[in-house]
Chain A
Amino acid sequence: MAPHPALFRQADAALRVGSARPGGFGPPVELSLRSRLGLIVIFGMFYGAVMGAHGGRPLQVLYSALKVPLLLSVAFLLGLPTFFVVNSLFGLRKDFSKALGALLSAQAGLTVILASLAPITAFVYVSGVSYQPAILFNALAFGAASVGAQGILRREYRDLIAENRAHRLMLRSWLVIYIFVGVQMGWVLRPFIGNPDQPIQFFREDGWTNAYVAVAEIILGALSGAR
Chain B
Amino acid sequence: MAIIESGGGERRSSWVQGLRDLDMILRGDRTRTSSLRAGAVEIAPGRLSRVIIGLCLIHGLFMGTFAMFSRNGPALGQVVATMVKVPLLFYLTLLVTLPSLYVLNALVGSRLTLGSVVRLLVATLGVNVAVLCSMGPIVAFFSVSTTSYPFMVLLNVVVFATAGFLAQMFLLQTLQRLNIAQTLADAQIPEPDPDTPSPIRPVSDEFLGRRVKTIFRAWLVVFGLVGAQMGWVLRPFIGNPNIPFTWFRGRESNFFEAVFQTIGNLFS
The interface of chain A, by Cβ under 8 A from chain B, is 77-79, 81-82, 84-86, 88-94, 166, 177, 181, 184-185, 187-188, 208-210, 212-213, 216, 220
Contact = CB atoms under 8 A, between A and B. Distances in A.
Interface residues of B, number: 33
Contacts of B151: 210, 212-213
Nearest to B142: A184
B137 interface: yes
Given A81-B137, A89-B199, A91-B198, 14 more contacts: A78-B137, A81-B134, A82-B135, A86-B134, A89-B28, A91-B196, A166-B198, A166-B201, A208-B144, A209-B147, A213-B146, A213-B151, A216-B267, A220-B267
B116 to A, nearest CB: 22
A94 B195 contact: yes
B184 interface: no
B217 interface: no
B237 interface: no
Interface in B180-224: 194-201
B145 interface: yes
Given A78-B137, A166-B201, A220-B267, A89 B166 contact: yes
B27 interface: yes
24 contacts: A78-B137, A78-B138, A79-B138, A81-B134, A81-B137, A82-B131, A82-B134, A85-B131, A88-B28, A89-B28, A89-B198, A90-B198, A93-B27, A93-B196, A181-B138, A187-B145, A188-B145, A208-B144, A208-B145, A209-B145, A212-B151, A213-B151, A216-B266, A216-B267
Interface string B96-122: 000000000000000000000000000
A204 to B, nearest CB: 12
B170 interface: yes
Contacts, number: 82
A177 B155 CA distance: 12
Nearest to A85: B134
Contacts of A81: 133-137
B172 interface: no
A121 B222 CA distance: 56
B127 interface: yes
B141 interface: yes
Contact of B26 (A77, A88, A166, A185): A88
Nearest to A211: B145
B148 A213 contact: yes
B130 interface: yes
B134 A184 contact: no
A99 to B, nearest CB: 13
Contacts of A88: 23, 26-28
Contacts of A85: 26, 130-131, 134
A86 B132 CA distance: 11
B173 to A, nearest CB: 10
Given A86-B131, A209-B147, A210-B151, A177 B198 contact: no
Contacts of B145: 184, 187-188, 208-210
Nearest to B152: A210
Nearest to B69: A208
Contacts of B266: 213, 216
Contacts of A94: 195-196
Contacts of A93: 27, 196
A145 to B, nearest CB: 23
A209 B144 CA distance: 9
Nearest to A90: B198
